[in-house]
Structure 1
Amino acid sequence: MLYYIYIGNDHTIINHLSKVTDGMFMAVPSCNKATKVIDGIRERYNTSILYEQNNAEEDCRNISFLHKRFPRVYIILITKLLQDRDRRLYLQAGVNNTLPPEANESSIRQMTRFLKTRKESKLQEFSLYHRKSLNEFRLPLWKRLFDIFFAAGVLIALSPLLIATVIAIRMESRGRIIYKSQRVGSNYRIFNFLKFRSMYANADKHLKELNSLNQYKMEEEAADEKPDIRFEDLVGSEEEEATLLISDDFVISEEDFLKKKSQEKQNAFVKIENDPRVTRVGRFIRKYSIDELPQLINVLNGDMSIVGNRPLPLYEAELLTSDDYVERFMAPSGLTGLWQVEKRGGAGKMSAEERKQLDIKYARNFSFWMDMKILLRTATAFVQKENV
């Protein structure tokens, strides 16, 4: 899912680009308001800024600020004609590309393909860089054999449930049955993480039905002052996957974000109940964790283990690259793990730091008997009481 944040006031250009761009399009009138929107987007490589050209000196000052604040965001200058004397100024400020206001769908599709290729390249760059700095973790033979037999056995035993789920998803809505997202597992290796799809195929369009994300309402309600919340201050968590999501990406309304941030110093994300994009089947399979069952295929492929540390989205993994937390990735990534069974269903009572320390504890001490204890505790905590 791509995000386009348009900065400017030309409603003719806004209306045109909102129709031809393929993704979530939002328009704000100022750089500071765009900053607040981007602070709520968790997947920065999916985000592009469309900056409407005005005064070169002021533009470059704003673009330089955005580029330093969000180095992973792709910045596109919307301009009819760029003078040679200004070209270098915009390039030095951080502009990555230019686009005419009347850009057609073909141009946008070409840019979209480039942005997707760029994202894949950045992900691989991230993975390779951190893997080179580690002594590679190797899964013990006993654990790999257990994973294969256990995953194959569960898939066979639950095949009627899996078939019924596939049929139910297909009957209720169009779209792919299996949804893939990229996760970071052992040794910072990135792989396709599998789930049953629980949202409508055009889930992104339903976002516009939510007032907090309406592009024009956002213009009216956003405050003018410089934001004091930085993405680097945030720590994502497993339970957040049940909140407002597009794939693994997340956009939160500014009002709710600031309110929650003032109440809680960690994990400042708001749960939005009754998300209209979640299907009826999706609510059921989420509640009983049936949507997680395709990850048994990940286990057979060797991407994951049955028991281990939960593989993380890139935005979370990037926050855990320091020496204090790198040990977390020197262990199997798994379907269930130590912190999940400590307080499953009430994980909000456990701080982010506690979860990290439990992951590190597992990395240091995992064994066959420890895995068996975690599996037994998972079985008793499998059905979540909370309707997410």
Structure 2
Amino acid sequence: MADHFLKIALISESKQLIESVIQAVEDKFEIVSFSNGIVFYNHLAQSPKEFCLVLSDAALQDVHGLSLKKTMEKLGFGYLPFFLIMEKVNREEILKAIGKGVADIFTKPINKKKLKTRLEFQINHPIKRLKDTEITRVEPYSIPWLKRLFDVFVSGLILFALSPLFLIVSILIKLESRGPVFYYSYRVGTGYTIFKFYKFRSMDPDADAKLQQLKHLNQYNHPEKSADEESIPATETTAVKELCELCEQAGGGCLQPLYDDNQMVCEKIILAKKNSNQDSAFIKIKDDPRVTRIGKFIRNTSIDELPQLWNVLKGDMSLVGNRPLPLYEAEKITTDKYALRFLGPAGITGLWQVEKRGRGEMSEEERLSLDNDYVKNFSLWFDLKILLRTIPALFQSENV
């Protein structure tokens, strides 16, 4: 058997569990761990035949439980045997898991001998693979050449024309507060692809410390409040005590640091959201006190978005499309109803911005529905109409 069939993908954030699994199978398999499903999707897309099976540390209804398995099937990887590692399990959950195609469930603490025996049995007596016709494959999206040509020409022209503005804004940001002028975070775009997303910094350097104190103001958790703007990034600073897998790969510090109980950590918001399936996928706070004075201005005029023209020039995204999401948001949007938004281009502006931005309420469901509508109807002519409608939407009256 070829070496690449002896690798197991383990989705878990528990170092103790990862070490336990490695100890159990070290003489038989190689364990490759992933902090979350989005990182795993991207790795799998690059090396689809690398793994012989998948182990996921998650509750049945968690984003890394049945939801992860279903997404794997939609992306064309349903043939990989899928095992769950759970805290506890009852008969109803076992029956449901089997019905959804889960190969087996292990409970914590891990019985190392049982784990190794079961995984070896799976390799020696594999379950018959699903036929290709039974798998709903996601066709990779590629930007049409005319749209790409338009993106390169327009983004390059604007970057050149606005270079003096970039210089002025950079000086103002530096004068008002310490910290970098630009920041980037990892975002999820077309086909769940991860890329570096650039913006002007618009928050105080200590914005992370204040996030936990403001979570109750999240408008997407309160339908009666206005929710018509893109979610505010959780952070824009760079120093943390723990680094996630993505940050370690990137080097230079954390790219999405958060605070948990007044301690700086890395991507812990993922774990927090896992504990409650009722949490909103988006975070937006009206009149956010963490935003600086120059930050408020560049947000209301969307100047903070201008560095994303570099993303367009590179081909990470387009001028018009669905907004790329942070990893912890994208992980919650894997259902058949809304995953369609990831099958079209990622963009700086899009349909939901011009439909609702600055004039009326918008629920999370409405926003996702508009994202889906764009994917179903987008064309170069449609993009031009959205761009023309974006200009007046830039100067909004709300403080977001």
**TM-score (normalised: structure 2):** 0.53
1:338 paired with 2:351, answer yes
Instruction: Say if 1:316 and 1:379 are closer, same or farther in 2 by CA, change over 3 A.
Output: same
Counterpart residue number, 1:279: 292
Shift of 1:323: 2.5
Which structure shows the higher helix fraction? 1
Q: How does 1:102-121 map to 2 (within 5 A)?
A: none
Q: Deviations over 1:54-91 (max 9, x none)?
A: xxxxxxxxxxxxxxxxx855477xxxxxxxxxxxxxx6
Q: How does 1:55-66 map to 2 (within 5 A)?
A: none
CA distance in 1, matches of 2:314, 2:42: 19
Choose which of 152, 161, 164 in structure 2 pairs with 1:160. 164
CA distance in 2, matches of 1:206, 1:352: 24
CA distance in 1, matches of 2:332, 2:139: 20
Q: Deviations over 1:164-198 (max 9, x none)?
A: 00111122222221111111101110001111011
Instruction: Give the residue type in structure 2 aligned to 1:239.
Output: E
Counterpart residue number, 2:386: 374
Counterpart residue number, 1:387: 399
Q: Is the 8 A contact 2:188 2:194 kept in 1?
A: yes
Instruction: Say if 1:353 and 1:177 are closer, same or farther in 2 by CA, change over 3 A.
Output: same
Q: Is the 8 A contact 2:231 2:282 kept in 1?
A: no
Shift of 1:267: 7.2
CA distance in 2, matches of 1:119, 1:187: 18
Instruction: Say if 1:317 and 1:357 are closer, same or farther in 2 by CA, change over 3 A.
Output: same
Q: Percent same amino acid among aligned pairs?
A: 47
Instruction: Say if 1:132 and 1:153 are closer, same or farther in 2 by CA, change over 3 A.
Output: farther
Which runs of no fewer than 5 residues in structure 2 stay unpaired?
1-10, 23-31, 45-71, 78-137, 216-220, 222-226, 237-255, 262-277
Q: Is the 8 A contact 1:299 1:305 kept in 2?
A: yes
Shift of 1:375: 0.6
Instruction: Say if 1:341 and 1:72 are closer, same or farther in 2 by CA, change over 3 A.
Output: farther
RMSD (Å), alpha carbons: 3.7
Counterpart residue number, 1:179: 183
Counterpart residue number, 1:239: 229
Instruction: Give the residue type in structure 2 aligned to 1:307.
Output: V
CA distance in 1, matches of 2:232, 2:36: 28
Instruction: Give the residue type in structure 2 aligned to 1:124.
Output: V
Instruction: Give the residue type in structure 1 aligned to 2:391.
Output: A
Q: Secondary structure at the match of 2:231?
A: helix
Shift of 1:152: 0.9
Q: Is the 8 A contact 1:75 1:95 kept in 2?
A: no
Choose which of 116, 125, 148 in structure 1 pairs with 2:40. 125
CA distance in 2, matches of 1:183, 1:269: 15
Which runs of no fewer than 5 residues in structure 1 stay unpaired?
1-70, 77-90, 97-116, 214-230, 232-236, 254-263
Q: How does 1:1-388 map to 2 (within 5 A)?
A: 73-74=13-14, 123-129=38-44, 134-205=138-209, 239=229, 241-242=231-232, 245-247=234-236, 271=285, 273-275=287-289, 277-346=290-359, 349-388=361-400
CA distance in 2, matches of 1:128, 1:135: 17
Shift of 1:239: 2.8
CA distance in 2, matches of 1:375, 1:344: 14
Counterpart residue number, 1:58: none
Q: Is the 8 A contact 2:231 2:284 kept in 1?
A: no
Shift of 1:273: 3.1
Instruction: Say if 1:206 and 1:339 are closer, same or farther in 2 by CA, change over 3 A.
Output: closer
Instruction: Say if 1:176 and 1:95 are closer, same or farther in 2 by CA, change over 3 A.
Output: farther
CA distance in 1, matches of 2:228, 2:151: 22
Q: Secondary structure at the match of 1:246?
A: coil
Q: Secondary structure at the match of 1:384?
A: coil
Higher relative contact order (CA 8 A, sep 6+): 1
CA distance in 1, matches of 2:280, 2:228: 14
Q: Is the 8 A contact 2:341 2:371 kept in 1?
A: yes
Shift of 1:242: 3.7
Instruction: Give the residue type in structure 1 aligned to 2:337.
Output: D
Q: Deviations over 1:93-150 (max 9, x none)?
A: x999xxxxxxxxxxxxxxxxxxxx9777865313344665521111100000000011
CA distance in 1, matches of 2:377, 2:329: 23
Q: Is the 8 A contact 2:321 2:347 kept in 1?
A: yes
CA distance in 2, matches of 1:302, 1:270: 27
CA distance in 2, matches of 1:339, 1:207: 26
Instruction: Give the residue type in structure 1 aligned to 2:314.
Output: N
Instruction: Say if 1:270 and 1:332 are closer, same or farther in 2 by CA, change over 3 A.
Output: closer
Instruction: Give the residue type in structure 2 aligned to 1:126.
Output: Y
Shift of 1:274: 4.9
Instruction: Say if 1:176 and 1:182 are closer, same or farther in 2 by CA, change over 3 A.
Output: same
Instruction: Say if 1:286 and 1:146 are closer, same or farther in 2 by CA, change over 3 A.
Output: same
Instruction: Say if 1:330 and 1:168 are closer, same or farther in 2 by CA, change over 3 A.
Output: same
